[in-house]
Chain A
Amino acid sequence: KQEVTQIPAALSVPEGENLVLNCSFTDSAIYNLQWFRQDPGKGLTSLLLIQSSQREQTSGRLNASLDKSSGRSTLYIAASQPGDSATYLCAVSSRGPTGANSKLTFGKGITLSVRP
């Protein structure tokens, strides 16, 4: 059974700091890994998707890496801003119980607060 862990549950940093959010998963047989952002009372916004054959993806100030063999991913946020304050969720897609389908397994998320 796939399990995804994100530690710590919350993080507070001053504006301008570079930071790393960690995600670990127990089963390395994944199809892809997706990082989401959730603002309070809002839905999930996809930030980056890394396919299982890839090592990293970049979008603006965000860089996500994937080490499938060790079951780890990191989301690097450069020069953090107050607008980056949100909950960041990591999710992996892997084969479902019947073998023919797949689903996302989520971590609990990391609530980030960037102080002005």
Chain B
Amino acid sequence: EAQVTQNPRYLITVTGKKLTVTCSQNMNHEYMSWYRQDPGLGLRQIYYSMNVEVTDKGDVPEGYKVSRKEKRNFPLILESPSPNQTSLYFCASSPGRQGPVGQYFGPGTRLTVT
């Protein structure tokens, strides 16, 4: 089944404790993105990647890191989480050079930082 998977789905952590949220897609997509969703703000893009080793900042990159060492994986890293990073996070992918067809979204990761 074609899908984007994220792990973990739920995470409660404390301020300053480094964490990684994994994202993997099995559709051989070139483009991948991370978003955070907050009430009343919709989805805001954190980082995106156009291909392996090619990443760029989205609209709200502060406090986050990403890497794209393999085409299928795009982990989101919070080096020192803070309470204002409590949010619902979505990973998404899209085919890329085939032309815009819309993004496929993962199920989301709900992160709480205390």
Answer yes or no: do A and B interact. no
